[in-house]
Structure 1
Amino acid sequence: MKRNDGIKTVSEIITESFGVYLKNNYKVLVLLFVTLAVTVSLCFVKISTTNTIASFNINDYEVGQIADVTIKAIKTLPADYDNPIPIEKGEKVIRKGFPITEEGYAKLKKMSESPVYIDYRAFANSIIYHILMVVLFFFFFSKIYFKTNMIEFNELVTECVFYMIVFASVIFGSKLTYLSSPFALCAIIPGPLFVFLIAILFGQLNAVFFSIMISLAVLNASSYQLVPFLFVLASSFASSRLVRKIDRRTDMVFVSVLQAVLNAVFIIIFKIIFNGSFANGLGSIVGVILNGFFSGILCLGLLTPLELLLNTASVFRLMDLSDLNNPVMKKMLVTASGTYNHSLMVASLAEAACNEVGANPLLARVGAYYHDIGKMDNPEYFVENQGGGENIHKEINPSLSASVIRTHVKRGIERAHALRLPKPVIDIISEHHGNQVIAYFYNEALKINPDVSPEDYSYSGNPPSTKESAVVMLADTVEAACRSLDKPSVPRLEKFITTLMTAKIDQKQLEDCNLTFNDITKIHDAFVQILAGYYHSRTKYPDQKDPDGPQAQQNNGENQPRASEESVKAVEEKESKAEDKKTEDKKVEDKKVEDKKVEDKKTEPKKSLKEKAEKIARSSNEKEKKEKN
C-alpha cells in the first residue's frame, strides 16, 4: 500500500531525531569515545604486562634459594630443542617456603624466555565493562531520567579526565611490588581529592555520582578486588559529605584532618573484615591518612585555577563575587546609586526566599547583585537613578523608551561575559525579565496606536530556568513595585505581593523553573516578612518631645532656648529693606539672566538624552537584525 506523500514513517522519524541529536551533541560523543579509548588502552597495558608466562624477573631467583612466592604456569609450554623440559598449564613451578630445584629453575628460565601471553578473554571482558561505564557517563549527562540540566559539558570533561587519572593510578600502582597488597593500593588512589573538587565546583549530587563511577573504575583496574573498591566508595562518599556546607577556603584544613581520620577508620575496618595483617600493614594505614590530609590541601591549591578555567559558580567563587567592595559594585554605587540600592534589597529578598524553598541562597544573592549591571551604561534612563528629577521618558515616544529599557538586559549579559561571571549568574541576568511585556510603555503605545504589537514591547530573554533565577525575577518585581506603595502595611503588602506573583504565573514566566505552588507560598511569606521589617513605621512614644521645637531639651542643667522662625524672618526683612535700590535692581536683572541660563541647561540635557536614546535603540535594533541573520 502506497503511503501518503509528506507523512514520515517511524524509522524516518527516529533516523532524523538521531541525526539531530548527533549534530547537537557531537562533542559529548567524541569525549566519551576518547575516554573509552584511553581506558581500554590502559586495560590492554595491564593485561599484556600482568597475564604473561613470566610475570617475574629471573635474576631474582637461583638454585637452592627458598622461594618467597608460589609461581604457577598459566600456559602450556611444550618441550623444545633449547629446553626439553615441558610445562603444563596450572603447574606449580616453585612453591613458597621450599628451595628452588634445578628443574624448577630451568622451568622459570623457560617461562622468562617465552613470548608475551595476552588473555584475550579478560581483555574482551574489560572492553565490555568500560563500554557500560561510558553508557553510565552518558546516562548521567543525557538528563533523560532527571530532566534537569544536571551536568554541563565542562563538568563532563573534568569528570572524564579525573576518571582516567584514577583508573591509570590503580593500573600502574598495582605494578609496583610494595603496592601489590590491596590495602597498600588504597593509599595512592586520589579519589578524595577529585571528589572534593567535583563537590565544590559542581555540587554534592554530582560528586556522589562521580564517586560511584570512580569506585567502579577501581574495581576493574584492581582485577575486581573488593578492598580498594569498598575503600574508594566509602572515602569518596565521605568526601562529598564533608564539603557540603563549607563557605571559606580555610575550612578545607579542618576537612583535610577529618578526611584523614575517616580514611584510617575505613582501612582498619576493612583489615578486620578481610583478615588483613596489622603487624605488617601499618604502612597502608599511614598511607591512607596522608592521602586524606593532602587531598584537602591539594584541593585548595587546584581550586582557584580550576574555578577560573571552568568558570564555575563554586561556593568560594560566589563568596568572592558577593563582596560589595569589588570594583563592579563600587562603580555601580557611583554611577547608578539607585540601581545599587535596589540590587541590595533584591538580594536580601532573594536570599531569604531561597532559604525557604531549598534553592541556593548564595547564588541568588550574587545573581541579584549583578542582575542590573546593564543599567550602568545608561543609568539616567531608569527611574531609580533619576533622584526625583524629571523623567526623560515623558519627552520621548513609548517605542523608543521600550528599546532603551530592553537593552539593559543585553548590555548586562555582555558585561557579565567580559567579567567572566559564572554561567548560572549570567543565566539569572538574562532571565530576570523573561519574555514579558514592558507593560507601562506598551499601554502608553496603545493610546497612540491600538494595533501595536506586544512583541515590540517585550523582553527577548527566556523565562527563568532555575529556582534561583525565578526567585530573583520575583524579588526584582516585588521590590520595584512596593516602592510605589503609600504607607505599606502588612495586609497591603500581602495583597499586593500576591497580585504581582499571580501575574507572573498568568504570564507563564514560572513554567520552566521547577517551583511548586507550595514554593510560591513560601516565597510570598518570605518577601512579606522582609519588606514588613523594612517599611515598618517608627513608634512614637507619649512623652517624646521634638528636639527642634520652640525650646531645646535641657542641656547640662540649663534650658537652652532657640530663636523662633518668626524672629529670624523679621531680622531678614529689616536687612533687606536697608539695601540700596540700585543693588536691588541689579539683583533683579541678574536673576533674569540666571533664569535664562537655567532654562537653557534644562533644555540641553533633554535633547542630548533623547538623541542618546535614539542611538541606543538603533544600535539594539542592528544587533537584533544581525543575530536573526
Structure 2
Amino acid sequence: MNMREKKKLKKSDLSKVQFPLERLLNIKDLTNFIVFPVFLALLNRLPFLSLPSKPFLYFVGSAILWYIFAERSVRSNRYFNLHSAYRITFFSVVSFGVFVNSFVPSLGDETLLPEMTPIFLSVSMVTILIGYQEGIGSGLFMSFLASANLDNSLETFILLSVVVLATALTTRAIERRIEIARAGFEVSLIFVAINAIRMSLQGESINAVDLLIAFANPILSSVIAIGIIPYLEYASRIYSNTGLLELGNLSHPLLKNLSIYAPGTYYHSISLANLSEAAAERIGANAILARVASYFHDIGKSKRPQYFAENQQEGMNPHDNLTPSMSNLVINEHVKQGVEQARKYRLPLLVEDVIKEHHGTRVKKFFFHKAKNIGQEERSDDFRYPGPKPQFKESGIIMLADSVEAAFKSIKKPTPAKTQELVEEIVNGIYNERQLDQSGLDLDDLEKIIEAFTRVLMNMNQPRIEYPKETTEKVVSINGDSNSKQDIEEDRREQNI
C-alpha cells in the first residue's frame, strides 16, 4: 500500500468518527434525549396551565432523568433497533401516562395527588407490551414528573416509585388478561399499606378517604388497561404474551388454511413449535413467542403447497419439470407470500421477522447442485434465500429447529446418540455458515439448545406397546362391497325371529 492510499484510508476513518457536538446535533438523538423529555415535562403541566416553582430544575431534571431511567433501558432492547414501531408505541404510552397522571389529580384536592395518580395504568401497559426494565424506567421518570406537581416532593416520588416497582413486578409475566386485574388488586394492597405506614410514621391520623382512593386507583387502572391493550396490540403489531397466546390457539384463519391446503407443512410447524419452545425455555428466551412464531413461520406455503416435499405424494414432484433457477424462484416465493399474509392479518412484527429470517441467507444446496450437474454456470449466491439472517434469539432458535426437524425424519431407527449427533452436525453447520452472528445466541446457548432438541426429538419418537389383536366384526367400510350397518342389523333381527 503506497502513501497516497494510506492517506485516503486515514481520511475515510476520520470521516466515520462522531464527535460529541456532531452527535448532539443528530436529529434522532436530539429528539430522544432533549425534545421528547421536554415535551413530556410541558405535557405534565398542561392541566395546571403553569410551570412549577423551579422551572430550570424541572426541565433539566426531566432530560437527565429521562436518559438515566428510560432511554438507557430502551437502548438495551434489541427490538427497538429492529422496528420504529417499538419506540413510537413506547413514546405514545408514556405520553398518555404522563398526561393522565397529571390530569386526574388536577380534578381533586392537591393533597390527594399521590393517591389519585393512576401510574399503574401506563407502567403496566409498558411492562406487558414492551418489557420489565422499560416499565420500571419509564415509571420512575413519570414518578419524578408527578412529584414535581407538588413542588418536587421527595415523599411523593418515593411513594409513587414503590407503586411503579410493584406494578412492574406483578405484571412482568402476564399470560392471561385476568392476571392484570389480579396484579391491580395486589398493587392496591401495597399502595394502601405504604400510605398507612407513611401516615403512622408522620404522626398523622389514618384518613379512610385517602386509603380508599389508594385502594381503588390500581384496581380501576387495571380494568382500563385490560380494555386498551388489545387495541394497542392491533395498531402497533407489538403483542404481549397474552396476545401471542390468543394467536397460538390453532383456530386462526391462516393456520386453518394451512392445515387444509398444506397439511404436511402444518404438522411440521406443530413439531417445530415443540422444539422451539423447549429450547427457548432452556436458554431463558421468550418461549411463547418461539411457539407462536413457529406456527406461522411457513404460512406462505399454503399458496403452492405441492412444491414442498412435506406436502408431496409419492412419485409426484413438480420440480422435476422445472429448471433449477425456476425452482429457486418458486421456493423463495413462499417467504414473500408469508410476509404478505402476516401484514394482511396484522400478525406481530416479530412473527413477520421470523417468516423472513428462518432461512436466513442460506443456499438451497439441492437446486444449486442440480444446476451444476446439468451444466449450468450458476453462482451459489443466486440460490440463496433473501434473508435477512436471524436478528433475535427466538428467530435463531426457529432456524435451527426447522433444519433439525426436517433432518430427523431421515433417521430410520433413531437412538439418543444418533439423534444428538445429527443435531450437533446441523447446529454446527448453521453456526459455521455465520447465520447466527446477529441473533444474540452464544456458544453456551447453542449447547443448551442441542440438549433441548435431542430430548424433545426422543420424546416425540417414543415407541408404544403393541396391543393384542382381537377379532372384530366388520360393520363399516368405505368401499361399496360390504353391507351397511343398517343391513347387518336387519339380518340379525331376522335371525332372531
Q: Output the TM-score relative to the length of structure 1.
A: 0.68
Query: In the alignment, residue 36 of structure 1 is paired with which amino acid?
Result: V
Q: 1:21–1:371: structure 2 CA closer, same or farther, 3 Å change rule?
A: farther
Query: In the alignment, residue 158 of structure 2 is paired with which amino acid?
Result: L
- How far apart, CA to CA, are the structure 1 residues paired with 2:318 and 2:49? 77
2:491 corresponds to which residue?
A: none
Answer yes or no: is 1:201 the counterpart of 2:129: yes
Compare relative contact order (CA 8 Å, sep 6+) and give the higher one, 1 or 2: 2
1:37 corresponds to which residue?
A: 39
Query: In the alignment, residue 55 of structure 2 is paired with which amino acid?
Result: F
Answer yes or no: is 1:269 the counterpart of 2:269: no
1:157 corresponds to which residue?
A: 88
1:126 corresponds to which residue?
A: 58
2:155 corresponds to which residue?
A: 227
User: How big is the shift at 1:35?
Assistant: 4.6
1:574 corresponds to which residue?
A: none
- How far apart, CA to CA, are the structure 2 residues paired with 1:173 and 1:425? 37
Match of 2:404 among 443, 457, 478: 478
Answer yes or no: is 1:331 the counterpart of 2:334: no
User: How big is the shift at 1:405?
Assistant: 1.1
Higher mean C-alpha displacement, 362-371 vs 444-453? 444-453
The superposition leaves residues 194-249 of structure 1 with CA deviations (integer Å, 9 ceiling, x where unpaired) of 11111111122221222222122223232121232112111111111112333222
- How far apart, CA to CA, are the structure 2 residues paired with 1:494 and 1:5? 52
- Secondary structure of 1:510's partner? coil
1:385 corresponds to which residue?
A: 311
Answer yes or no: is 1:366 the counterpart of 2:297: no
- How far apart, CA to CA, are the structure 2 residues paired with 1:162 and 1:16? 33
The superposition leaves residues 42-87 of structure 1 with CA deviations (integer Å, 9 ceiling, x where unpaired) of 5598695776xxxxxxxxxxxxxxxxxxxxxxxxxxxxxxxxxxxx
Identical columns (%): 26
Match of 1:148 among 78, 91, 100: 78
Q: 1:303–1:32: structure 2 CA closer, same or farther, 3 Å change rule?
A: farther
- Secondary structure of 1:474's partner? helix
- How far apart, CA to CA, are the structure 1 residues paired with 2:290 and 2:340? 20
- How far apart, CA to CA, are the structure 2 residues paired with 1:533 and 1:41? 57
2:11 corresponds to which residue?
A: 8
Q: Is the 8 A contact 1:432 1:469 kept in 2?
A: yes
- How far apart, CA to CA, are the structure 2 residues paired with 1:162 and 1:142? 14
2:248 corresponds to which residue?
A: 322
- How far apart, CA to CA, are the structure 2 residues paired with 1:212 and 1:193? 14
Query: In the alignment, residue 191 of structure 2 is paired with which amino acid?
Result: N
- How far apart, CA to CA, are the structure 2 residues paired with 1:389 and 1:18? 68
Aligned pairs for 1:234-253 (under 5 A) are 234-253=162-181
Q: Is the 8 A contact 2:327 2:367 kept in 1?
A: yes
1:438 corresponds to which residue?
A: 364
Q: 1:165–1:537: structure 2 CA closer, same or farther, 3 Å change rule?
A: closer
Match of 2:113 among 185, 191, 199: 185
Q: 1:8–1:21: structure 2 CA closer, same or farther, 3 Å change rule?
A: farther
Gaps of 5+ in 1: 52-121, 561-629
Larger Rg: 1
Answer yes or no: is 1:213 the counterpart of 2:141: yes
Q: Is the 8 A contact 2:47 2:103 kept in 1?
A: no
Q: Is the 8 A contact 1:242 1:255 kept in 2?
A: yes
1:287 corresponds to which residue?
A: 213
Q: Is the 8 A contact 2:276 2:401 kept in 1?
A: yes
Q: 1:170–1:249: structure 2 CA closer, same or farther, 3 Å change rule?
A: closer
Q: Is the 8 A contact 1:219 1:226 kept in 2?
A: yes
Q: 1:48–1:332: structure 2 CA closer, same or farther, 3 Å change rule?
A: closer
- How far apart, CA to CA, are the structure 2 residues paired with 1:306 and 1:161? 10
Q: Is the 8 A contact 1:169 1:188 kept in 2?
A: no
Query: In the alignment, residue 368 of structure 1 is paired with which amino acid?
Result: S
**CA-atom RMSD in angstroms:** 3.2
- Number of aligned residue pairs: 469
Q: 1:20–1:478: structure 2 CA closer, same or farther, 3 Å change rule?
A: farther
Query: In the alignment, residue 132 of structure 1 is paired with which amino acid?
Result: I
Answer yes or no: is 1:405 the counterpart of 2:331: yes
Q: Is the 8 A contact 1:464 1:510 kept in 2?
A: yes
Tell me which protein shows more helix as a share of its residues. Answer: 2
Q: 1:172–1:348: structure 2 CA closer, same or farther, 3 Å change rule?
A: closer
Query: In the alignment, residue 280 of structure 2 is paired with which amino acid?
Result: C
Q: 1:166–1:395: structure 2 CA closer, same or farther, 3 Å change rule?
A: closer
1:58 corresponds to which residue?
A: none
Q: 1:381–1:165: structure 2 CA closer, same or farther, 3 Å change rule?
A: closer
- How far apart, CA to CA, are the structure 1 residues paired with 2:21 and 2:74? 13
- Secondary structure of 1:452's partner? coil
2:182 corresponds to which residue?
A: 254
- Secondary structure of 1:8's partner? helix
1:422 corresponds to which residue?
A: 348
User: How big is the shift at 1:14?
Assistant: 4.0
- How far apart, CA to CA, are the structure 1 residues paired with 2:16 and 2:459? 58
- How far apart, CA to CA, are the structure 1 residues paired with 2:24 and 2:310? 46
Q: 1:26–1:405: structure 2 CA closer, same or farther, 3 Å change rule?
A: same
2:416 corresponds to which residue?
A: 490
- How far apart, CA to CA, are the structure 2 residues paired with 1:400 and 1:20? 48
Q: Is the 8 A contact 1:170 1:222 kept in 2?
A: no
User: How big is the shift at 1:256?
Assistant: 2.6
User: How big is the shift at 1:131?
Assistant: 2.7
User: How big is the shift at 1:258?
Assistant: 1.6
